[in-house]
Amino acid sequence: MKYFRGLTVILFIFTLSISGCTDMGDPLSGGSPGGGSTTISYSGDVQPIFDNACVSCHVTPPSPGAGDLDLTSYAGLTDPSGPNNAPEVIPGDADNSYFVKRLDGSIPPIMPVGGTLTPAEIDLIKEWINQGALDN
Ligand code: HEC
């Protein structure tokens, strides 16, 4: 009996030392970047959406047939002499940007024609505007 009790104690201590090692490992694994939003890039994230879905109509030079809006570049999107002589995007305020209202259809007709952008793509563009609509 004494032998078994001794073995139990040894096993108990062994278990403690393993969990001790696990605890010591925690600070090393705690480096994940939690919660912070990532910076959206115009050239890397936003322009590719336009290249894919918009530039077949929104060309350079801007065509009156496509709202006088050139979506081939940042300069075209933010051209102050563009459509309606009003800014398409208000940096930091996606919800009040005319551009976004045309994308979500709150001002019709929805763009692109047929409304083929995914909610994730629209959210990405909105997030870029809310981050200041930078030429990044
Ligand atoms: C099949 C052609 C076509 C495609 C593709 C297209 N558009 Fe348009 N777009 C138009 C036409 C035509 C107008 C002008 C008439 C109007 O305002 O509805 C226009 C107007 C707009 C306007 C309003 C400009 C203004 O201020 O008057 C916005 C904003 C716009 N488009 C955004 C987009 C975006 C963003 C995409 C791609 C995701 C896109 N469009 C794809 C044809 C197109």
pLDDT at position 120 is: 97
Structural domain including 108 reads 42-79+86-130
Q: Which residue's alpha carbon is at the smallest distance from atom 26 of ligand 1?
A: 83
Residue 28 lies in a domain: no
DSSP of 52-68, one letter per residue? Answer: HHTTTTS-SSPPGGGTT
Residue 12 lies in a domain: no
User: Could you tell which of 49, 51, 57 is best to mutate to test the pocket of ligand 1, judged by most ligand atoms within 8 Å of the CB?
Assistant: 57
Tokens 């006088």 map to which residue?
68
Q: How far apart are CA 72 and CA 76, in angstroms?
A: 7
Residue 49 lies in a domain: yes
Number of domains in the chain: 1
- In the reported structure, the alpha carbon of residue 70 is separated from the centroid of ligand 1 by a whole-number distance in angstroms of 9
- In the reported structure, the alpha carbon of residue 35 is separated from the centroid of ligand 1 by a whole-number distance in angstroms of 35
* Neighbouring residues of 38: CB distance < 8 A, sequence distance ≥ 6: none
Residue 107 lies in a domain: yes
For residues 78 and 95, the answer to whether their CB atoms sit within 8 Å is no
For residues 53 and 116, the answer to whether their CB atoms sit within 8 Å is yes
How many Cα atoms occupy the beta-carbon half-sphere of 18 within 13 Å?
6
Residue 27 lies in a domain: no
Q: Which of 35-39, 60-64, 113-117, 128-132 has the highest mean pLDDT?
A: 128-132
pLDDT band at 30 (very low <50, low <70, confident <90, very high): very low
pLDDT at residue 111 tops 50: yes
Q: Which residue's alpha carbon is at the smallest distance from atom 14 of ligand 1?
A: 67
Q: Which residue's alpha carbon is at the smallest distance from atom 37 of ligand 1?
A: 54
- In the reported structure, the alpha carbon of residue 66 is separated from the centroid of ligand 1 by a whole-number distance in angstroms of 6
Tokens of 92: 């930091």
**What are the tens digits of pLDDT across the range 45-99?**
999 999 999 999 999 998 888 888 999 999 999 987 766 667 899 999 999 999 9
Residue 112 lies in a domain: yes
- In the reported structure, the alpha carbon of residue 105 is separated from the centroid of ligand 1 by a whole-number distance in angstroms of 12
Average of per-residue pLDDT values in the chain: 81
What pTM was computed for the model?
Answer: 0.78
Chain-centroid distance, C-alpha 101: 18
Asked whether 109 lines ligand 1 (CB < 6 A), one says yes
